[in-house]
Amino acid sequence: MAVAMARRPALFQERIVPRDSSLAGYAALVHAYDLPVPVRSPSCVSSGFIGGTRRTTDEWTIFDKRYGTEDSLRGHLSFALRHETVDLYALKKLFEVVATADIEAIVTAEMTGGTARRTWFLYEWLTGNRLDIPDLDRGNYVELLDSRHYFTSSPTNSSRHRVRDNLLGISAFCPIIRRTEYLNEAVEQRWDVRARDLVGRIGKGIVARAASFLLLADTQASYQIEGERPPRNRLERWMRAVAQAGRRPLSIEEIVRLQHIVIEEGRFIQRGLREKGGFIGDRDRNDDPLPEFVSARHEDVPALLEGILSAGERMGQSDVDAVVQAAAVAFAFVFVHPFEDGNGRLHRYLIHHVLSERGYTTPGMIFPVSSVLLERQEEYAQRLQSFTGPLLPFIEWVPTADKNVRVLNQTADLYRFGDCTELAEFLYRCVIQTITNDLPNEIDHLARYDEAKARIQDMIEMPDAQISSLVTFIRQNGGTLSKKRRRKDFERMLNHEVSEVEAIVRDAFDIEEPSPDEEPDEGSTFRR
């Protein structure tokens, strides 16, 4: 157990190791055992750092020399579980190569210790192999994850290990989401309650219309993110599907049904789960793939989807925050990329599904999250790439004759385990923006619209649809009715009527009156 771990390389995964520092925890284990594992935030212990417990840089977490640990499997495994974010993928890859006897020795050396029992549980949970250690029959239970630092599910007691399994998922899929200051504050703010309070103060008619407009905006944005502008009938089909989000239980069959709505025919695009490889990226001049990310092997897709759905069910039953659950489920889905096409829209559908199913959104209304994602499209892409980019070097692939990719190594665990904290923070920011900006703005707009229409109806007899068009044209034209539009649709209106209606619309929508010295153009009104 005192085998040297060669902790002092000059480089670690293309990072320069800080001066006077030794690798610690996951980084030391990955280096020593040559594990195919991306370490996103490696740790080291500095012999010269005594200014505090730890400090972070863009690439490293540097610990005070007092955190120095035994240079062994036992020492670095204990360091990782005590001081670093739980990395289930790294642990599984480690457990696959170390001798079973070494893990048994670590556990039996301190059977009653919390770290030893967590190691024992995680080894058997991740590998499916049972250590030659008798069940514990006494002692207090310990939490597998510290609920002060992680989002956790309702615990299930493992009497063999005297451990409370409070992971968010199951061994088939399990994300890790840390309780950052931002996420804790966002959860405590109860944004769903704020949204319901806002909607509750508004008349049902306006709420229904706002829900319709927000649904349309979200659906259009979801297609625009994919660079598509579908005909109205396709848009309406998907709108109807999104409007039903949360009402039907999720299953692989349900997700395939939804993909058939997105992809209407299968002449050029395969509908249903992929039966070949997939990637996201570009192509070279010979049309060969240049992947930025390689999708999960198609052989692994069904099991991964089942795992994602089961983890989502566990989170829902445990009352894990709905936005946190939505992030874990929806982003895991898009990383697996189970379909040849339609993955992005279904990924965003899953956000709506979880929020609706959990009662986070007001009944009958969706938050236009896709609209915010479209507005933040560059950041959206960066968040996706920040998760997938570090995985690519660990996926071995070759191009195929049909200009696709074929994965050569076992990669399912890359999609099965990961830290989704930053993705949850990003989704929360998007949801908060819809509640503080998009939703109240739409309600405010409709209220002003109704006010303008009512005042116009009091002064002139005109069909409701025509008044609606009149308000829209004046508002869109900066508070005036253009000459062209007046000649085409409103030539029977008198000059003073046009002026009064323009004034009403400007007043309702707080539009400044145009200066009389402004040069008339296509958007100017008739003036005599």
CATH number at residue 243: 1.10.3290.10
Q: Quick check: is 374 in a domain? A: yes
Per-residue pLDDT, 5: 61
| Dist CA 296 CA 405 (whole Å) | 11
Q: Which residue has the higher pLDDT, 307 or 227?
A: 307
pLDDT at 254 over 50: yes
Spatial contact of 31 and 12, defined as CB atoms under 8 Å apart: yes
Share of the chain above pLDDT 70, in %: 95
Per-residue pLDDT, 51: 65
Q: Quick check: is 94 in a domain? A: yes
Question: pLDDT tier at 519 (50, 70, 90 boundaries)?
Answer: very low
Model confidence pLDDT, tens digit, residues 128-159? 999 999 999 888 999 999 999 999 999 999 99
- 95 Cβ contact list (under 8 Å, min separation 6): 103, 122, 123, 126, 127
Question: pLDDT tier at 84 (50, 70, 90 boundaries)?
Answer: very high
Burial class (CB in 10 A: 0-12, 13-18, 19+), 459: exposed
Q: How many CB atoms lie within 10 A of CB 41?
A: 16
* Token output for 446: 């409709």
Q: Quick check: is 31 in a domain? A: yes
Q: Quick check: is 127 in a domain? A: no
Q: Quick check: is 153 in a domain? A: no
Dihedral sign (CA 245, 247, 252, 255) = negative
Question: Based on the domain organization, do 207 and 328 belong to the same domain?
Answer: yes
pTM recorded for the entire structure: 0.90
Direct distance between the N- and C-terminal alpha carbons of the chain, in angstroms, rounded to an integer: 96
Mean pLDDT (the chain) is 91
Spatial contact of 312 and 246, defined as CB atoms under 8 Å apart: no
DSSP 17: P
One-letter amino acid of 369: V
* Cross-strand bridge partners of residue 43: 24, 61
Question: Catalytic site residues?
Answer: 337
Q: Which residue has the higher pLDDT, 205 or 104?
A: 104
Burial class (CB in 10 A: 0-12, 13-18, 19+), 476: exposed
Q: Among 75-84, 198-207, 400-409, name the one with the lowest average pLDDT.
A: 198-207
- Residue 94's closest CA among 23, 145, 27, 44? 27
Residue ranges of the binding site: 341-348
- Residue 51's closest CA among 35, 65, 36, 72? 65
Question: Based on the domain organization, do 389 and 488 belong to the same domain?
Answer: no
Model confidence pLDDT, tens digit, residues 12-65? 988 999 988 899 999 999 999 999 999 999 999 988 766 678 888 888 999 988
Spatial contact of 301 and 273, defined as CB atoms under 8 Å apart: yes
Question: Based on the domain organization, do 407 and 500 belong to the same domain?
Answer: no
Question: Based on the domain organization, do 80 and 5 belong to the same domain?
Answer: yes
How far apart, in Å, are the Cα atoms of 430 and each of 11, 324, 361, 374, 377? Answer: 37, 12, 14, 10, 11
Question: pLDDT tier at 317 (50, 70, 90 boundaries)?
Answer: very high
Report how many domains make up the chain: 3
Model confidence pLDDT, tens digit, residues 413-452? 999 999 999 999 999 999 999 999 999 999 889 989 899 9
pLDDT at 267 over 80: no
Per-residue pLDDT, 6: 54
Question: Based on the domain organization, do 429 and 479 belong to the same domain?
Answer: no
Per-residue pLDDT, 104: 96
Model confidence pLDDT, tens digit, residues 273-307? 999 999 998 998 888 899 999 999 999 999 999 99
Domain boundary among 54, 79, 98: 98
Backbone dihedral angles phi then psi of residue 490, each to the nearest 5 degrees: -135, 35
Question: Based on the domain organization, do 378 and 232 belong to the same domain?
Answer: yes
Q: Tell me which residue range forms the domain holding 35.
A: 1-98
Question: Based on the domain organization, do 480 and 397 belong to the same domain?
Answer: no
- Residue 199's closest CA among 490, 397, 447, 528? 447
Share of the chain above pLDDT 90, in %: 74
pLDDT at 523 over 60: no
| Dist CA 447 CA 97 (whole Å) | 65
Residue ranges of the binding site for ATP: 341-348
* Token output for 316: 């829902």
Spatial contact of 292 and 281, defined as CB atoms under 8 Å apart: yes
